[in-house]
Amino acid sequence: MQPLRGITVVSLEQAIAAPYASRHLADLGARVIKLERPGAGDFARGYDTRVNGLSSHFVWTNRNKESLTVDFKDPRGAEIVRRLLDDADVFLQNLAPGATGRAGLGAAELQRTNPKLIVCDISGYGLGGPYETMKAYDLMVQSEAGLLSVTGTADDMAKVGISVSDIAAGMYAYSSILAALIERGTTGRGAHLDVSMLEATVEWMGFPLYYSFDGAPPPPRAGAAHATIYPYGPFTAGDGTTVMMAIQNEREWAAFCDRFLGDASIATREEYRTNYQRNHHRETLAPIIADRFAQLSGHEAVAALAMVPVAYARVNTMSDVWAHPQLAARNRWRTVGTPAGDVPALRLPGLVDDDPRMEPVPALGEHTRPILQDLGFSGEEIDVLRTDGVV
């Protein structure tokens, strides 16, 4: 299932947000030409060396792509990019605001020569406004979006353990580009998309925003527990195992009290009758639940929760996830090549294709010569460009 086969995406990308978006487009069949700095490349290549000497971030976000090294600040390099974009369908970039415009690669200029081109700019805070030129790394945006204020424990805030603002922006870029391609099929015209990491993250903050609507107190930081639903979160079994469990409605609550706590009357006590009341009286309800968990091993607690039934989960390590039985049962793992050898890779979520696109993660500049040859450059011209550091 590669519905984007025949679509060409040129991506002037770095770090996570744009590479994540373009990798999803590539997974769906698009040809993605990744533009990188000569000699250094996408700086995410150097984040770490955890995958056979390669960066974990880079391997994750760059399969199914071609790598072209080009210095777009050099007029010759900018001309190469423009020639690529003359026939491209999508131009995606997440450089500093204004960088592409200063190089003559802004949306308005590009669409004068290629009206069908879809231009997607990803930045921290979007075009215009007082924050437009601020540096915007993932943690900075998590902070500005209020995410840190509701994440962590009562005593200490915590960043989310993944680059959630980068990923949010990448996913909105991906879905917006798909929408623009559909619209172009009707109108024949391209579009200019302006994706902000801040706006993508704030969109995901809808619950705490509305919870604190009109000056009401925000949800408190509650660690691994839910801030406003109880019981919902981690509980410790008698053998020290942490078990996650959740009650979502009054039917589950009644069954939990009867079959797990062994006392159906708890569910009907006035202070525990509704979630609002349970949340308000955690200090008295928590010891009752904790005492029951303490009587059981982790295995026994999970078995008892399954018999209620209510939702429960293990607290998996990364090693556990690599070996997760559900991923194995659904045949979600494939293999992708890298410059350092083959590594496992997950199929794109949602697709049931047994033969998903899993082409290699490119080496820096691996496709420079064939791409330039396709543009009409001779071998001698390419050699000159390499010698001059343009590609």
Q: Measured between alpha carbons, how far is 28 from 348 in angstroms, rounded to an integer?
A: 9
Domain-embedded: residue 36: yes
Rounded distance between C-alpha atoms, residue 245 and residue 239, angstroms: 17
Q: Identify the pLDDT of residue 150.
A: 94
Asked if residue 15 and residue 64 are part of one domain, the reply reads yes
Per residue in 288-336, pLDDT (tens digit) is 999 999 999 999 999 999 999 999 999 999 999 999 999 999 999 999 9
Q: 378 and 292, same structural domain?
A: no
- Total number of residues shown for the chain: 391
Do residue 87 and residue 38 come from a single domain?
Answer: yes
Longest CA–CA span in the chain (Å) reads 86
Same-domain check for residues 90 and 189: yes
The per-residue pLDDT for range 204-244, each reduced to its tens digit, is 999 999 999 999 999 988 888 998 999 999 999 999 999 99
pLDDT at 275 over 80: yes
- Do 141 and 163 lie in one domain? The reply is yes
What is the spatial distance between Cα 8 and Cα 26, in angstroms, rounded to a whole number? 9
Calpha distance 357→347 (Å, rounded):
8
> 264 and 120 in one domain?
no
If one compares 351 and 359, the residue with the highest pLDDT of the two is 359
Binning pLDDT at 50, 70 and 90, where does residue 17 land? very high
Are residues 65 and 118 located together in one domain of the fold? yes
- The three-state DSSP-derived secondary structure of 244-302 is EEECCCHHHHHHHHHHHHCCHHHHHCHHHCCHHHHHHCHHHHHHHHHHHHHCCCHHHHH
Give the mean pLDDT of the chain: 95
Residue 51 is part of which domain span? Answer: 8-205+328-387
Number of separate domains in the chain: 2
Residue 2 falls inside a structural domain: no
User: Where are the alpha helices (H) located in 339-378, listed in sequence order?
Assistant: 368-374
Kindly state the average pLDDT of the residues 12-41.
97
**Residue 353 confidence class, pLDDT cut points 50, 70, 90:** confident
Per-residue model confidence as pLDDT tens digits over 77-118: 999 999 999 999 999 999 998 899 999 999 999 999 999 999
pLDDT digits (tens, 9 = 90+) for 239-256: 999 999 999 999 999 999
* Of 136, 138, 180, 189, residue with least CA distance to 25: 180
Average pLDDT over residues 23-33: 98
Instruction: Decide which of 315, 336, 364 is a domain's last residue.
Output: 315
Reply yes or no on whether the pLDDT at 172 is more than 90.
yes
CATH of residue 289: 3.30.1540.10
Is residue 190 classed exposed, middle or buried when 0-12, 13-18 and 19+ CB atoms within 10 A define those classes? Answer: buried
Alpha helices by DSSP H, 145-205: 164-187, 197-204
- Residue 45 shares a structural domain with residue 143: yes
| Residue 194: C-alpha distances to residues 13, 17, 51, 90, 119 (Å) | 15, 13, 33, 13, 9
pLDDT digits (tens, 9 = 90+) for 104-160: 999 999 999 999 999 999 999 999 999 999 989 999 999 999 999 999 999 999 999
Region label for 98, one of left (φ > 0), alpha (ψ between -120 and 50) or beta (otherwise): left
